[in-house]
Amino acid sequence: MTDRKKYFLYIIIPLIILLILSVSPIFINLFGKSFSLKGQVYREGNNQNTAYINYEIAETENKFFKVDQQINSYMYVYLEEKNGFCIIKDIKDVKPSEGIYLKGKINYYSSESKPDASENKVNIYYDIQTYFLSKGEKDIKDGDKVKVNLKFFLGKTIVKSIEKLE
């Protein structure tokens, strides 16, 4: 193979990879369904560009779970819209065929064998909990309640923007 062909491959392969990586967000933006979640912003240290969002749907009661579902398992959180925001409709280990859902990892599970009611909560981690703030969103402070605008398409979700709630 000549040097010219090698340099051509060195340029084309990274471009193809970048193109493949950008296809998913483009399709989500074009064809995705918009929805909103409520949350609260937490910021660590002096990092003014990153917001960690604790969604209201990140903690729920134990009523959705069976005894055989465990810590660190991935579940599908089925959402329904109520008063302009999505709330949890159901949580299952089966990917739904329709509707809006998020894939989340269960961080804490309390079984019925633990009698303490305060422990009957499940925390769910979503990949969309970290958000990089744009210039127009820099006024969002630690502890602010926010409306998070998202788009969903074919099982993928992206955060479009966040707005401070009054």
Is residue 61 domain-shared with residue 139, that is, in the same domain? yes
| Rg for the chain, CA atoms, rounded | 20
| Domain coverage including residue 124 | 33-164
Q: How far apart are CA 58 and CA 146, in angstroms?
A: 14
pLDDT digits (tens, 9 = 90+) for 55-108: 999 888 777 766 555 566 788 889 999 998 999 998 888 888 888 999 988 876
Q: What is the mean pLDDT of residues 125-140?
A: 82
For 20-53, the pLDDT digits (tens) are 888 888 888 899 899 999 999 887 766 677 888 9
Q: Does residue 117 register a pLDDT over 50?
A: no
Q: Does residue 83 sit in the same domain as residue 146? A: yes
Assign 133 to helix, strand or coil: coil
* pTM assigned to the model: 0.75
**Quick one: 142 and 66 in the same domain?**
yes
